[in-house]
Chains A and B, each alone.
Chain A
Amino acid sequence: MTRLLRQDKKTCHQFDNILLSEKIFYPKSLNKTPFMKTKTLFILAAIITSTAIYLGCKKIDFFVQPYEKADNSIVTELRNWVINKKQTASYSYQLTGLDSLVLEAKWSNTIACKVSNDKTLFYVPLNNQAIGLEFFYDNQLKRIDSGNIIKTSESSLQPVNEAMNGVRTYYEIVIMKSSAAAKFSGKITSYSIFNNFQYDYTFSNSKIVSRGFVANKPSESTNAKVKSNSTKAIKLNAEYYCEPWGHFTEWTNGMVTLDYTYMLCTQCTTTSIGIKSGEQFVKTNCSGSGNTGGDPGGPVPIISFWNNIKDTCLQKLLEATLTNVYQLTYEVLMNEYPESVYTAFNYTQLNMGASGETVTNGLTYSTINVASNGQRSVNIVLNMDALKSSSQEFNASVIMHEALHAMIVAGGDLVATNFVHHSAMANNYIEILAADLRGLFPNLPVVDSYALAWNGISIDLPDAWNALSETTKQQYEAIANDYWMNGSKGTRPTSCN
């Protein structure tokens, strides 16, 4: 009976109607005669049966639709479509990516879902169960309209069917603006066949909860920078540009939130997914020749900055300083560490205490992210306990100070001590740091900008610091202290909005 009902959904609705109709209710006062008793028993039996059938019907909603296995001929066509995409690849990494997809795809497990007379969806799982390939097939013209890489966040005992439910829900709800036949709760993220992020959608019971997209984020800081009076002028290589981007989520109530931002500083940038790892990453070094078009060529030092700061004031300040930080680090990497590989600078915050012997304003440490082709990730941690009550000027100096540490680490100097780092900063970057601080805070007195530039460097008594007069050293230390925790100078975070 249940199977019958599952086959014919209309019947389910009829039983729904019986259950909800007045017919099954019988006034207790009339339950006195044998006839009435018989009728009551009949009604009770009807209620029990209806409830069982109702639950059976309801179960249909949570039933994972078993999809048909695709014909071998169409599977070959899908596979060839991916291989033929190599002809339109511009870069060698795209060729490598397509080869990986062909190898990682479990072609024999391809499933099909005919959503209309005109359209059939195909889903090919990859070895990583969270990822697969989706294809939109035109039944009339007998050709593939498009194909993408899909990541499904929903974990399921039947990940392939669940992924197809996600693909189908996206097609029916987002593309066709109709109702969803399959029930899907979870997130699907789409990347082009060349592994470029396209969108993500989160559904709850096949209703859209949010849409994620990547877009250029206008920077408020671009006009704030004034020219450095340093003799070591910084110039960007004309081939490259640098701009802030962000990942946004648009919610069903129309609100758009910014999830995270990053600075992209190259011509060739993709937000992609690791085919094996399933982790999303930003790729910015597209070296290697392709079939069409050129490429940047050679090992290029590329940096991206990730703003994972949650504190509003500090987050804004970091965004404002990123252009300066990038220009500072880019030149250093180009000139001193030309063999550097792509590096990500990840800014985060922690509460590490604001008193006692381990107090720190910020620290830098590095990890190697194996999932993303061995790229080096340099982590910069800002101590909220110390910085929340420090001035914006002081905090900006900490952000740039840690970026210089990060740059030296990114250059491959993992062994160098704090003293070596601070000596290098004292010899080469005090002027630049001070000028950048004045650029960010035009009203900052020159002497204060130098005091803040020296902050954190003087601790190791490098030769350049020792060469200053005692009066100057004391003056700089006192000024830096005034800009620090609960000090008397500078713009305090309460007025950062």
Chain B
Amino acid sequence: MYNKLKFLLLCFFISLSSIHAENFTIVKDTTLDKFIAEKVILPNYEKRKVVILRQAENFDVAAFLERDKQFFPSFFEYLHSDFNLSTISLKEIVNKHQYSWDGTISEKYPNLSLIKAPEMGISIESLKKLRKDNEGASIITRVLILLDEQKGKCLIYYHAFQGGGTVVFLEKKNHIWQIVTNKSQFLE
């Protein structure tokens, strides 16, 4: 009886923490998913295959961005001007605005695959093998999508394995997403 009570209490606290984590979940925007796939990612790689690694849940995006901030100056300019980085922290922005891509997107686009990255990271050799197994596909290892639904603004950063980093800023005008800038922030 006592053990059952302990188990129930544990479940209660776990559910409480998950509710807290989901506090900032953004409503799915299928038009945005479609726009990112068709207008942002795929055109950058012509007709080649693209494999996107879904980051492990414990990956600290904010820390990653802070570490390499010098390489994507315009990303931080947008964070300041459109996501109020000067008033709130980067971690807060990520918690509040991070947008998850629809996991079923790869079913609609044959050239696009979503694969979950292993928790313990991934080696160069395994990435090379992954590329080879997918007909020389580009492997996108880091993606961050920040969405402000009210203002209709979306900031995307992605990095391909040995393929440089790109920053894309989108705005929604008359219910239609548009690319404002699409810049290679660094080249490898």
Footprint of B on A, CB under 8 Å? 355-365, 367, 381, 405, 409, 414-419, 421, 456, 459-461
B188/A363 in contact, CB under 8 A: yes
Q: How far is the CA of A359 from the CA of B166 in the complex (A)?
A: 16
Contact A358 B163 (CB under 8 A): no
How far in angstroms is the closest Cβ of chain A from B168? Answer: 11
B65 on interface, CB distance cutoff 8 Å:
no
Given A357-B141, A359-B124, A461-B136, residue A364 in contact with residue B48 (CB < 8 A): no
Residues of B within 8 A of A365 (CB): 70-73, 185-187
CB distance from A242 to the nearest CB of B (A): 25
Contact present for A356 and B122 (CB under 8 Å)? yes
Task: List 26 A-B pairs, Cβ < 8 Å.
Answer: A355-B124, A356-B121, A356-B122, A357-B117, A357-B142, A358-B142, A358-B159, A360-B162, A360-B188, A361-B188, A363-B71, A363-B187, A364-B187, A365-B185, A381-B71, A405-B187, A414-B183, A414-B184, A416-B184, A417-B44, A417-B164, A417-B166, A418-B188, A419-B45, A419-B46, A456-B162
Question: A482 to nearest B CB, angstroms?
Answer: 15
Q: Is the CB of B121 within 8 A of A357?
A: yes
Q: Are B183 and A362 in contact (CB under 8 A)?
A: no
Contact mask B27-68 → A, CB, 8 Å, 1/0? 000000000000000001110100001000000000000000
> Nearest Cβ in chain B — how far from A365, in angstroms?
4
Chain A residues with CB below 8 A from B138, complex form:
460
Nearest neighbor of A352 in chain B, beta-carbon distance? B68
6 residue pairs, one from A and one from B, having the closest CB atoms:
A357-B141, A365-B186, A418-B164, A405-B187, A363-B186, A418-B163
Closest B residue by C-beta to A460: B163
Q: Which residues of B contact A (CB under 8 A)?
A: 44-46, 48, 53, 70-73, 117, 121-124, 127, 136, 138-139, 141-142, 159-164, 166, 182-188
Kindly state the separation between the CA atoms of A364 and B141 in the bound complex, as whole angstroms. 19
Chain A residues closer than 8 Å to B186, beta-carbon distance = 363-365
Per DSSP, chain B at the interface is mixed
When the two chains form the complex, which single residue of B45, B73, B164 contacts A363, counting CB atoms closer than 8 Å? B164
Closest A residue to B122 by CB, please name it: A357
B44 adjacent to A362 (CB under 8 Å): no
CB distance from B116 to the nearest CB of A (A): 13
B141, A358: Cβ atoms closer than 8 Å: yes
Whether A417 lies near B121 (C-beta < 8 A) is no
Specify which chain A residues have a CB less than 8 angstroms from the CB of B163 in the assembled complex: 418-419, 459-460
A459 CA to B141 CA in the complex, in Å? 15
Q: Tell me whether A418 and B184 are in contact (CB under 8 A).
A: yes
Q: In the complex, A416→B163 CA distance in Å? A: 12
Which residues of B lie under 8 Å from residue A414 when comparing CB positions?
A: 183-184
Please give, as numbers and ranges, the residues of chain A lying within 8 Å of B124 by CB-CB distance: 355-357, 359
Residues from chain A with a CB closer than 8 A to the CB of B71 are 363, 365, 381
CB neighbours (8 Å) of B121 from chain A are 356-357
Q: How far is the CA of A456 from the CA of B162 in the complex (A)?
A: 8
- Chain B contacts of A416 at CB under 8 A? 184
A421 with B183: CB separation less than 8 A:
no
Q: Are B188 and A419 in contact (CB under 8 A)?
A: no
CA distance A405 to B127 in the complex (A): 24
State A381–B187 Cα separation when bound (angstroms): 10
- The answer on a CB contact under 8 Å between A415 and B136 is no
19 additional contacts (CB under 8 A) given A415-B182, A419-B46: A355-B124, A356-B121, A356-B124, A357-B142, A358-B141, A363-B187, A364-B186, A365-B70, A365-B71, A365-B72, A381-B71, A414-B183, A418-B164, A418-B188, A419-B163, A421-B184, A456-B162, A460-B163, A461-B136
**How distant is B143 from chain A, measured CB to nearest CB, in Å?**
12
The CA of A357 and the CA of B138, in the complex, are separated in Å by 12
The complex places the Cα of A409 from the Cα of B183 at a distance, in Å, of 11
Q: How far apart are B18's CB and chain A's nearest CB, in angstroms?
A: 28
A417 near B188: Cβ-Cβ < 8 Å: no
Tell me the nearest residue of chain B to A465, going by C-beta. Answer: B136
Structural contact, A415 and B183, CB atoms closer than 8 A: yes
Contact B123 A355 (CB under 8 A): yes
Bound Cα distance from A365 to B183, whole angstroms: 11
Q: Tell me whether A362 and B188 are in contact (CB under 8 A).
A: yes
Given contacts A365-B186, A418-B160, contact A357 B127 (CB under 8 A): yes
Give min CB distance, A459 to chain B, whole Å: 5
Tell me, rounded to whole Å, the shortest Cβ–Cβ distance linking B81 to chain A: 17
What is the bound-complex CA distance between A251 and B142, given in angstroms?
A: 48
Q: Which of B138, B159, B160, B184 has the most CB of A within 10 A?
A: B184
Cα(A437)–Cα(B53), bound, Å? 36
How far is A456 from B164 in the complex, measured between Cα atoms in Å? 11
Min distance, Cβ B100 to any Cβ of chain A, angstroms: 19
B182 partner residues in chain A, CB cutoff 8 A: 415
**Contact A459:B162 (CB < 8 A) given known A363-B71, A417-B44, A419-B45:** yes
Contact: B141 with A367, CB < 8 Å? no
Q: In the complex, A485→B169 CA distance in Å?
A: 37
Which of A360, A381, A416 lies at the interface centre, i.e. has the most chain B CB atoms within 10 A of its CB?
A: A360
Q: Which residue of chain A lies nearest to B64 when distances are taken between CB atoms in the complex?
A: A358
A409 to B186 CA separation, bound complex (whole angstroms): 10
The winner among B73, B160, B166, B186 for most chain A CB atoms within 10 A is B186
Alpha-carbon distance between A367 and B72 when the two chains are bound, in angstroms: 10
CA distance A418 to B186 in the complex (A): 8
A140 to B86, CA, bound (A): 60
Of all chain A residues, the one with the shortest Cβ separation from B48 is: A461
The docked-state distance in angstroms from the alpha carbon of A360 to that of B138 is 15
**Smallest CB separation, B97 vs chain A (Å):** 23
- Give Cα A381–Cα B117 distance, bound, in whole angstroms: 27
On chain B, the residues within 8 Å of A421 by CB distance are 184, 187
Note all chain A residues with C-beta closer than 8 A to B159. 358
Name A458's closest neighbour in chain B (CB-CB): B136
Minimal beta-carbon separation of B176 from chain A (angstroms): 22
Contact assessment for A419 and B187 in the assembled complex, using a CB-CB cutoff below 8 Å: no
Asked if B136 and A409 sit within 8 Å, CB to CB, the answer is: no
Which residues does chain B contribute within 8 Å of A357, judged by CB atoms? 53, 117, 121-122, 124, 127, 139, 141-142, 161
Chain A, Cβ-Cβ closest to B137: A461
Chain B residues with Cβ below 8 Å from A363 are: 71, 164, 186-188
Residues of B within 8 A of A362 (CB): 188
